[in-house]
Structure 1
Amino acid sequence: MNIQKIQVIVSIFTAIVTVGLSFLGFLLNKWNKKKVQMDVIKEYYKEGDSNELIQARKNILNRKHIANEIFEYENSAYPSIVCNFFNKWGLMVKYRNLPFYIFKGSSGHGVTKCYEALKSYIDKRRVDNVLYAFHFEYLYKKIKKHNNHQRKKKWYFMWLKK
């Protein structure tokens, strides 16, 4: 056998192994990303089910529904707890560490209710800190945009059902 033929065979073998290993690396990367996302989803639900956060959301949403009551949040830690929680997860959604589909159901409804209840509190805090609850607002707007798009889509396809 000629040395050139051996070099060609080794080159082809090396190329095939390189392509195979690259594909395997790609698959492992995808699998690892899904695993990490599942861990983040579990963490989101675990933190959301903590007694402190449940009490904070309940307190804020109950205060919102009491008619004509002006509730000042200055003496309460509840709004800060809720804002920090959703700000963290808004940041995770923005940088795609937490998939957005988590908020397409009841979690998204809870975010919108909490944001609307805390809007005046957030505006008051933004006097001192312009970026306060920035990612919470980002998450709220993204959910609203998704919901508006879903309504338009449903309306658009209604004629197909007839």
Structure 2
Amino acid sequence: MMMYEHFDGMLKGITEKLNKDPNGINARKKYVLELSRLGKKLYSKDENIAWCGVTAPFDLLSSMGVTSCFVEFVGAMLSSTQTAGFFFEEAEDSGFATDSCAYHRAVMGAVLKNAMPKPDFIIGTSSPCTAGLAVMENFANQHGFSWNIKTP
């Protein structure tokens, strides 16, 4: 619930700033607004959540009322907020190689620390890399989901 409250506060704060100064809207403020909306949805208990690989069919999921997010985006957020190091250590202590993708290590560390919201389902993709697919499989195992991959 702590993360939901964080994003809710962030959303209220940026909305208040934008309402006070509509002419002050810039790309960064729009990004923060959308990020806080997505974060609030991901940590809400009222949404259907899907964690996905970067090339998952997000428009299709959205049309079905599913809030989805690709894990590499979360890895990038953790890196940009300088919190990834904390999660690297957790992932590495659990056996993830120190030379594996930093975004994926950060996400796996966050999963292992229960900092990621539990999804209703997971969609892994092997494009653009198989490391993301491995993280999704580990994520599925962490949450007790079955994991099936059938691709041509």
- TM-score normalised over the length of structure 1: 0.29
- TM-score normalised over the length of structure 2: 0.30
Q: Look at both structures and tell me which one has the larger radius of gyration over its CA atoms.
A: 1
Structure with more of its chain in strand, by fraction: 2
